[in-house]
Chain A
Amino acid sequence: GESVGLHLPTLSVQEGDNSIINCAYSNSASDYFIWYKQESGKGPQFIIDIRSNMDKRQGQRVTVLLNKTVKHLSLQIAATQPGDSAVYFCADSGGGADGLTFGKGTHLIIQP
């Protein structure tokens, strides 16, 4: 079946730099996309979401971009901090009652 995937398993950035985490999805029927942050030993924590009728959404220090033409999603984190170290998952939903389809995740490492 179709699934959401990520381009890179690990991303290393300098503290204070901006981070960009990418995600490719394959389900053209997906209309809801969400980014989660998962710290070691914890459950996924909601960061930001976006619906297919939008191409950009901003939160506090985070921005999600959606390009439906190439089925690509990205998460931008401004001024990366040590507390941003975690695994980041993108997930999508085709609108049914069932759960989200998750990618494998990108491990974000912050260099001092």
Chain B
Amino acid sequence: NAGVTQTPKFRILKIGQSMTLQCTQDMNHNYMYWYRQDPGMGLKLIYYSVGAGITDKGEVPNGYNVSRSTTEDFPLRLELAAPSQTSVYFCASSYTGATETQYFGPGTRLLVL
């Protein structure tokens, strides 16, 4: 199993541009999550999904959108990039929810200039 994979690894955006961060897991996990990590800080939850077709907001959802059309994929969309969205983005998955181990991808480093 590849586990949780994320693309791209690094991206530079100009203010106002849009992009999609891709996340795929091959562990047949029901739950998937998007976190952001600012320098020297812990991770904050952006959005999560408990299964295909179901998504919900986390702690810091403003400026982001998600979709979950399949069990495997959970893309994160930035519509109008802002400098405050400069961060490292991690996707994670788990089988039965937050009270089970979450497995993380390698992250996408995003710089908005």
Residues of A within 8 A of B (CB): 4, 31-32, 34, 36, 41-46, 49, 51, 89, 91, 93, 95-100, 102-105
Contact = CB atoms under 8 A, between A and B. Distances in A.
B90 A104 contact: no
Contacts of B97: 96-97
Contacts of A105: 40-42
B35 interface: yes
Interface stretch (B12-20, B76-84, B100-108): B100-108
A43 B104 contact: yes
Given A43-B90, A95-B99, A97-B48, A104 B40 contact: yes
A49 B41 CA distance: 21
B98 A96 contact: yes
B99 A102 contact: no
A46 B56 contact: no
A86 to B, nearest CB: 14
Interface residues of B, number: 27
A77 B71 CA distance: 36
A45 to B, nearest CB: 7
Given A96-B97, A97-B56, 8 more contacts: A43-B92, A44-B90, A45-B104, A95-B99, A98-B58, A99-B48, A100-B102, A102-B35
Contacts of A34: 101-102
Nearest to B97: A97
A1 to B, nearest CB: 8
Contact of A43 (B45, B48, B106): B106
Nearest to B107: A43
B105 A102 contact: no
